[in-house]
Each structure stands twice: as C-alpha cells, then as structure tokens.
Amino acid sequence: MLCMINGKELDVPTRDDGTIDVDAIKKAAGISPDRLVIRQNRDGSNQVVNPGDEICARPGDHYMDGPIHKNGG
C-alpha cells in the first residue's frame, strides 16, 4: 500500500486483512529501530504507533518518525 512516510511516497507491505506492522513502516522508510512512528490522522491529530503495533492503514496515510519520549529525569 502506498503511504507517505517522512514526505516520501513508499510502498509498505500489508497483511491480507489490510493491517500494517509498524516495523514494516520503519523498514520501508529506513527508520532506525530506536525512533517512534507517528501517524498523522485525517482530522489533523497525531497518534503515536508503538513498537509491535499493527494498524489499519488506508491509502494515502501519512507517517513520520520522532524521538522516543521519556518522562522525567
């Protein structure tokens, strides 16, 4: 499925049920394993996709990577 990842249109493999593993997004975009994937929803909100999560993807979805956020210290 074609998805926009960090401003580039990339083909990300989907499962038969239409889901995408977040690791497939990272692999397709060359994103380091120590970075988060953030989905930019159609309503303008952002959603952190946690490592190991599977998401229902739609053609034209937008993703970007960001640093892992740590609370405190």
Assign residue 45 the CATH number of its domain: 3.10.20
Alpha-carbon distances of 22 from 8, 32, 44, 71, 73, rounded to whole Å:
16, 12, 20, 23, 28
56: domain range? 2-67
Residue 72 within any structural domain of the chain: no
Residue 63 within any structural domain of the chain: yes
Residue 46 within any structural domain of the chain: yes
Give the chain's domain count.
1
In DSSP notation, 34-56 reads: TEEEEEE-TTS-EEEE-TT-EEE
In tens digits, the chain (73 residues) has pLDDT values of: 888 999 999 998 888 998 999 999 999 999 998 899 999 988 889 999 988 889 988 877 899 999 987 776 5
pLDDT value, residue 29: 93
pLDDT value, residue 61: 84
